[in-house]
Amino acid sequence: MREWIAVFKRGIAIDNPLTVLMIGLCATLAVSTKVEGALFMGLAVIFVLGMSSVIVSSIRHLVPEKVRIPVFIVIIASFVTIVDLTMKAFVPDVYDFLGVWIPLIVVNCMILGRAEAFSYHNPVRLAVADGLGMGSGFAIVIVVLAFIRELFGSGEIVFLGANLLSLPDGYPAPGILVLFPGAFIVFGFIVALTAWYNRRTTGRTVETSAHCTIEEGGR
């Protein structure tokens, strides 16, 4: 059980897919203009990553090394299709907002990278922990990023039509935070902050890397 928790926690902090491993960035920056969209994106990724970890890990002895990548892709694509159709049916507004980003979860290198680097070599129990941990790490960062951008960029947070939080009326909202440059800049500061925190707590510099090859998706 302790091992399970350790694997789960690693995805959230020390090996966070976004701020440390630097995988799956595209969707993060693009959908973080609204907390609502970011939250659903996070949930979609947790679901796809968790479920595909289970399947990949449970069939790992049956799948030959040579055809593993296409097999992973088909597994992931099936779960993404489930999310695609479910969201379209139940939360059409969010679906329209996320648009092309839902099908793009298939090629989100985070999911293929974890299947390749972790689930394919580990028992189901740990693969689930890794999937849920990495998914949660992704969801936390994307929601934080969206929170900063929506609150300070537009002065209020609107969630499913309800106004959750708003700044005082005279607040001059710098719209640039909601536009695309804001995403890069706010995320740059979040990465710097995580690097600083990780160095303080672990006493070592955690190398941030920005690689998206299947071959080197982690350890």
Partner 1 sequence: METLQHFALLLVGGALVNNILLTRFIGLCPFFGVSGAMETSVGMAGAVVFVMTLATTATWVFWNVLLEPLGVGEFLYIPAFILVIAALVQFVEMYLRKSSPALYRSLGIFLPLITTNCAVLATATESVRPGFFMMGIDYGFGFGEALVYTIGVAIGFGIALISFAALRERLEVAPVPEAMKGIPMAFITAGLLSFGYVGLGGLFGL
Check residue 109 for interaction with partner 1 (CB under 8 A). Answer: yes
**What is the smallest separation between the CB atom of 95 and partner 1, expressed in angstroms?**
10
Q: Which residue, 90 or 184, is less far from partner 1 as judged by CB?
A: 184
State how far the Cα of 41 lies from the Cα of 195, in Å rounded to an integer: 24
Question: Which residue is it, tokens 């995403």?
Answer: 183
| CB distance 142 to 31 below 8 Å | yes
State how far the Cα of 12 lies from the Cα of 124, in Å rounded to an integer: 19
Beta bridge partners of 159: 162
Q: Which residue, 166 or 202, is less far from partner 1 as judged by CB?
A: 202
Check residue 184 for interaction with partner 1 (CB under 8 A). Answer: yes
| CB distance 180 to 28 below 8 Å | no
**What is the smallest separation between the CB atom of 74 and partner 1, expressed in angstroms?**
6
Q: Kindly identify the residues of this chain, within the stretch 32-71, that bind partner 1 according to CB under 8 A.
A: 69-70
CA 178 to chain centroid: 19
Check residue 73 for interaction with partner 1 (CB under 8 A). Answer: yes
Check residue 90 for interaction with partner 1 (CB under 8 A). Answer: no
- Scanning the chain, the segments in alpha helix (DSSP H) are 2-12, 25-31, 35-58, 68-90, 92-98, 109-117, 124-154, 180-202
Contact residue for partner 1 among 54, 173, 178, 214 (CB under 8 A): 214
| Residues engaged in binding partner 1 (CB under 8 A) | 22-23, 25-27, 29-30, 69-70, 73-74, 77-78, 80-81, 84-85, 96, 99-100, 103-104, 106-109, 112, 176, 179-185, 187-189, 191-193, 195-196, 208-214
